[in-house]
Homo-oligomer: A and B are copies of this chain.
Amino acid sequence: MALIVQKFGGTSVGNVERIQHVATQVAKAVKAGDQVVVAVSAMSGETNRLTALAKEMQKRPSKREMDVLLTTGEQVTIALLSMALQERDCPAISYTGWQVPITTDNVHSKARIEHIDGEKILQQVADGKVVVVAGFQGIGMDGDITTLGRGGSDTTAVALAAALNADECQIYTDVDGVYTTDPRVVPEAKRLDTVTYDEMLELASLGAKVLQIRSVEFASKYNVPLRVLSSMKEGGGTLITAEDKFKDSDMEKPLISGIAFSRDEAKLMILGVPDKPGMAYQILGPVSDANIEIDMIIQNQGVDGTTDFTFTVGRADMEAALEILQSTASHLGAREVVSDDTIVKISMVGVGMKSHSGIASTMFKTLADNNINIQMIGTTEIKISVVIDEPCLELAVQSLHEAFELDK
Residues of chain A having any CB pair with chain B under 8 Å: 16, 19-20, 50, 53-54, 56-59, 61-62, 64-66, 68-69, 71-72, 75-76, 78-84, 86-87, 93-94, 96, 98-99, 143, 145
Q: How many monomers of this chain does the complex have?
A: 2
Using A16-B57, A58-B86 as known contacts, list a sample of 11 further A-B pairs with CB atoms less than 8 Å apart, ordered by residue number in A.
Answer: A53-B76, A54-B83, A65-B79, A65-B86, A65-B94, A66-B79, A68-B75, A68-B82, A69-B75, A69-B79, A96-B145
Contact A61 B83 (CB under 8 A): yes
A64 vs B99: C-alpha distance in the bound complex, in angstroms? Answer: 14
Contact B82 A62 (CB under 8 A): yes
A106 vs B75: C-alpha distance in the bound complex, in angstroms? Answer: 19
Contact A64 B93 (CB under 8 A): yes
Q: A16-B56, A53-B16 are in contact. Are A83 and B99 (CB under 8 A)?
A: no
A256 vs B56: C-alpha distance in the bound complex, in angstroms? Answer: 48
A378 vs B163: C-alpha distance in the bound complex, in angstroms? Answer: 66
A99 vs B61: C-alpha distance in the bound complex, in angstroms? Answer: 21
Contact B94 A57 (CB under 8 A): no
A98 vs B81: C-alpha distance in the bound complex, in angstroms? Answer: 22
Closest CB in chain B relative to A57 CB, distance in Å: 4
A99 vs B146: C-alpha distance in the bound complex, in angstroms? Answer: 13
Q: What would 25 A/B residue contacts be, using CB atoms closer than 8 Å?
A: A16-B53, A20-B57, A53-B76, A53-B80, A54-B79, A57-B80, A57-B83, A57-B87, A58-B84, A59-B87, A61-B83, A64-B93, A64-B94, A65-B80, A65-B86, A68-B75, A68-B79, A68-B82, A68-B96, A69-B75, A69-B79, A69-B80, A71-B75, A96-B145, A98-B98
